[in-house]
């Protein structure tokens, strides 16, 4: 899964939702809404004489709804998904990522135990993971206006954010990326009305092709293709077994290895 493809989907999702809501807000005023600030998503959106740009319609609505500006929501989601992709971390390691775990000079993330919140890394081992410059830049920008003095990613209650898998599947569905073939059984309703129903990813966020470990596997494959030794990748991923690390590595496209193939035969 390409990280950029995912957060572009997030951005498009936000645009579609915001455009609809801004339009509803402006209907009573008798004008057509054209939210500004989304040129990166809809670069060819036409402007006509009977169309009035509403510069703050979207941000105003979302700020009232969540207390955050549209730009803030987008930056948060992008940084979060780039963190998953750039670090190769497990979901709980992202949930409990703290600012004092980030070394901005060495450009690393130190995964370690946090007894006060009941977090222990898998295999009970701390490790240090190097982060790409692009991710460090996003984290620096977030640090300047950090919403929490300790945690990198928080929810609406100010607690460490979680339920990332559920959110990822919602993103995929709203971005139109679901395969439309997956079927599963979920529980719906509350209390005595709870019941199990079969649903499809055609209209529900349940596509099995989207799961958090795809970020982790993509990260491992990128490290491998960039020439990072497998033993080092094993350490960065926090695997006890080298065999587990090997499972994570994808097969490199032969075209990308053309020079290596020719070199093997002195061509």
Per-residue HEC secondary structure of 185-228 comes to EEEECCHHHCEEEEEECCCCCCCCCCCCHHHHHHHHHHHHHCCC
Q: What pLDDT was estimated at residue 70?
A: 62
Tens digit of each residue's pLDDT (9 = 90 or more) over 91-134: 999 999 999 999 999 999 999 999 999 999 987 789 999 999 99
Q: How many CB atoms lie within 10 A of CB 244?
A: 12
Tens digit of each residue's pLDDT (9 = 90 or more) over 242-260: 999 998 887 777 777 788 7
Q: Which CATH class is domain 73-144?
A: mainly alpha
- Boundaries of CATH 1.10.443.10 in the chain? 73-144
Residue 69's pLDDT band (cuts 50, 70, 90): low
Tens digit of each residue's pLDDT (9 = 90 or more) over 30-61: 434 444 443 333 333 333 333 323 333 434 44
Q: 135 pLDDT exceeds 70?
A: yes
Write out the two tokens for 32: 């057509």
Q: What pLDDT was estimated at residue 265?
A: 81
Q: Which of 9-13, 76-80, 248-252 has the highest mean pLDDT?
A: 76-80
Tens digit of each residue's pLDDT (9 = 90 or more) over 146-163: 999 999 999 988 999 999
Q: Among 36-45, 63-72, 177-186, where is mean pLDDT lowest? A: 36-45
Q: 88 pLDDT exceeds 50?
A: yes
Q: What pLDDT was estimated at residue 60?
A: 44
Q: 189 pLDDT exceeds 90?
A: no
CA-nearest of 166, 163, 151, 10 to 81 is 10
Q: 78 pLDDT exceeds 60?
A: yes
Q: How many CB atoms lie within 10 A of CB 135?
A: 20
Nearest-angstrom CA–CA distance, 166 and 176: 16
Q: What is the mean predicted confidence (pLDDT) over 219-235?
A: 93
Nearest-angstrom CA–CA distance, 203 and 205: 7
pTM of the model: 0.68
């Amino acid at each position: 899964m390409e990280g950029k493809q995912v957060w572009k989907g997030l951005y498009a999702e936000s645009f579609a939702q915001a455009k609809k809501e801004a339009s509803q807000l402006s209907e009573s005023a008798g004008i057509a809404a054209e939210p500004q600030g989304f040129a990166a998503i809809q670069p060819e959106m036409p402007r006509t004489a009977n169309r009035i740009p509403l510069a703050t319609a979207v941000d105003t609505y979302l700020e009232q709804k969540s207390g955050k500006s549209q730009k803030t929501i987008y930056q948060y989601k992008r940084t979060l998904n780039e963190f998953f992709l750039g670090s190769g971390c497990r979901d709980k390691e992202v949930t409990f990522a703290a600012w004092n775990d980030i070394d901005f000079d060495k450009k690393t993330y130190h995964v370690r135990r946090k007894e006060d919140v009941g977090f222990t890394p898998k295999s009970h081992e701390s490790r240090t993971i190097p982060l790409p410059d692009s991710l460090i830049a996003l984290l620096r920008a977030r640090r300047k206006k950090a919403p929490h003095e300790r945690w990198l990613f928080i929810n609406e209650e100010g607690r460490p954010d979680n339920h990332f898998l559920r959110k990822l599947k919602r993103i995929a569905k709203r971005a139109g990326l679901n395969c439309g073939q997956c079927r599963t059984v979920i529980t719906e309703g509350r209390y005595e009305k709870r019941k199990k129903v079969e649903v499809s990813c055609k209209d529900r966020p349940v596509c099995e092709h989207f799961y958090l470990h795809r970020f982790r596997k993509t990260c491992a494959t990128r490290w491998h293709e960039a020439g990072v030794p497998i033993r080092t990748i094993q350490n960065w991923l926090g695997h006890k077994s080298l065999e587990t690390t090997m499972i994570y590595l994808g097969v490199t496209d032969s075209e990308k290895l053309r020079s290596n193939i020719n070199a093997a035969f002195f061509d």
